[in-house]
Chain A
Amino acid sequence: MIEAKNVIKKYGQVTALDDFTVDIPKGKIGILGPNGAGKSTFVKIALGLIESTSGEITVLGENLDKNSIEIRKKIGYMPEHDCIPNKMTGVEFLIEMGQVSGLDYQTATQRTHEILGHLRMGEEKYRLIEEYSGGMRQKIKLAQGLVHGPELMFLDEPTSGLDPNARQEMLETINGLAEISNTNVLLSTHILQDVETVCDYVIIINNGKLQIKENVKELVKRQTDTIQIRVGENSDEFISILKQNNNKRNIEITDRWIRIPYKNEESFKEIISAAASAKCQLYEMERIAMTMDNIYLEVVN
């Protein structure tokens, strides 16, 4: 869907993207990273809003440098910040955006009402945008990006500034609309749960560099619940007892740590018993839950 090769973007002395190379597949993709990681910069470059200092980007099979205008016909964009005019109604604004995307008035009107219907906006769509709540404004921002039926939708921090209920509703809406409108999604966020809820694939960026690119399901599989142990002498015998007790299941051994899967509270007793049998001194024993958060923090830090 998007292929970036050695993309560098500098703002004066600051390097926002540093030799960034990635091949993003079709589907619902999350770009994850802390604030200032380079997510928005990448999205804006991929949209053709700003130019990269060097490197090459292909979007939906077309070279961005040569066909940025044509590419934008196939792209929808929901920016992070508030950027909708207050003095228009929701319907007027979406029709205008549809027409600016190249739709004729009739099609833009029809599509506007369809999308607002899917967003469960009733009579309020005829009210001025300045009267809308934060959640409704986000919906309008989302709708304007979908009004011309894009193949790919860029969502830049779509849940930013929303309360938990509105956030959940927004994520469901994104999921639902992406499904029914057959649109690929590129979701840029610093909130891990947003990616988990919406995306099939995740890309983690930090300091302008690609840190990880993985299927979300695979990443979820990496979530583990283990007991981490640090021991003294006679560790070989201790490990062999543990392996016998655990049917050789997933015992991870490093220079410093031994990790065995946590089953229940009995696991601790088994470890103590194994250490006693092997006459091995236990220095530390701690339950470690490796969640998506931990994986993310490990990658980012």
Chain B
Amino acid sequence: MKNDAKIADKFKDFKPNLSDRRNIILGMGLRGFEKLFSLKNKSILFLIGIVYLWTFAFYLLLGQDSYPCNTVSEELKTCTHLNFYGDLQYGGTRIFLVLIAAVASSGLIANDLTDKSIHLYLSRPISRIDYLIARIIPIFLLMLTITLIPNLVVFISQFSKSGLDVDFLSSNMWTLSNLILQAIFYSISYSIIGITFSAAINRESLASAGFFGTVYGVSLIVEIFYGLMSEMDIENSEYILLLSIIHFLDIISYKIFNVDYFVTIFGSPEVIEFPLSIIIGLYVLLFSSFILLVNYIISKMEVTK
């Protein structure tokens, strides 16, 4: 009886030390990231496996001296590091990256909206923006594991190929920082796009399809249209590429490495230039609109129950 009374008193006098918002958000994000690797998410694990298999294959390809300098014309592809990473990620496995982002991000907000548990999350000591950040963290970390880590693997393999020469590291410090920046850039961009689709289409499967279709499908269509417009010598036809999120992100990615952006149209590569101010302005406008849209959708839901 005494023991029972003690337990009851303990329950009654429960005064926990609650952690602050930052820790709550980080905790939510890390738990979400952990869940993406659960065996329930077989499709995600399968796609991650493919990305890493391609990384391994690319590692083997790098061992051959002919790769990649002889594969395209010298003036466009001058064996910069971007080409290595570009070929690793955004040529060979781009479709898988978009697929992983589409599949993994689709449920993050959609599920909370569908079962309405978002009401419970938002009644906790976090703001709406905190909640969004917590939901972006899992997909951001997942994207980092499939953009940054393979890139680092390639970098390390090149370092290894140089005979572990310290000069290689010092002469490639900017490359290393740029590829980290590039991976963060792609990860955050795809995370925001994913979260937007997840909130806007609050059914997981439809959100995945919407994401993939809009990002990958549109890029194929835009590329074909650009090819046709170029053939017809239509002025400023390159601006149509800005309608494709993949091309748009690639343009910024090339800017990070300070090299000319080129796009391969009907088998032949073409250099395309865009003013930096337009690109940055458009990026800020587009992605802040995504965030505002998600915030609006959630706030609207609160009011209407």
Contact = CB atoms under 8 A, between A and B. Distances in A.
B14 A83 contact: no
Interface string A25-39: 000000000000000
B125 A118 contact: no
Interface string A57-74: 000000000000110110
B231 interface: no
A144 to B, nearest CB: 6
B115 A100 contact: no
B161 interface: no
A234 interface: no
B267 interface: no
A218 to B, nearest CB: 28
A72 B119 CA distance: 13
B154 to A, nearest CB: 37
B127 interface: yes
Given A118-B11, A181-B11, A99 B27 contact: yes
B16 A83 contact: no
Interface string B1-35: 00000011001111110111101100110010000
Contacts of A114: 7, 11
B95 to A, nearest CB: 29
A267 B15 CA distance: 58
Interface residues of A, number: 38
Nearest to B107: A87
B34 to A, nearest CB: 12
Interface string B101-130: 000000000011001111111111111000
A72 B123 contact: yes
Contact of A81 (B11, B116, B123): B116
B18 A84 contact: no
A286 to B, nearest CB: 43
Interface string A6-46: 00000100000000000000000000000000001000100
A181 B120 contact: no
A149 to B, nearest CB: 4
A49 B302 contact: yes
Contact of B18 (A40, A44, A118, A148): A148
Nearest 4 CB-CB pairings of A with B: A102-B18, A83-B116, A149-B14, A77-B123
24 contacts: A47-B123, A49-B122, A69-B21, A73-B125, A77-B123, A79-B116, A79-B120, A79-B123, A81-B116, A81-B119, A81-B305, A84-B120, A85-B117, A86-B115, A102-B19, A102-B20, A102-B23, A102-B124, A104-B19, A148-B16, A148-B18, A180-B12, A181-B12, A182-B13
Interface of A: 11, 40, 44, 47, 49-50, 69-70, 72-73, 75, 77, 79, 81-87, 96-97, 99-104, 107, 111, 114, 118, 144, 148-149, 180-182
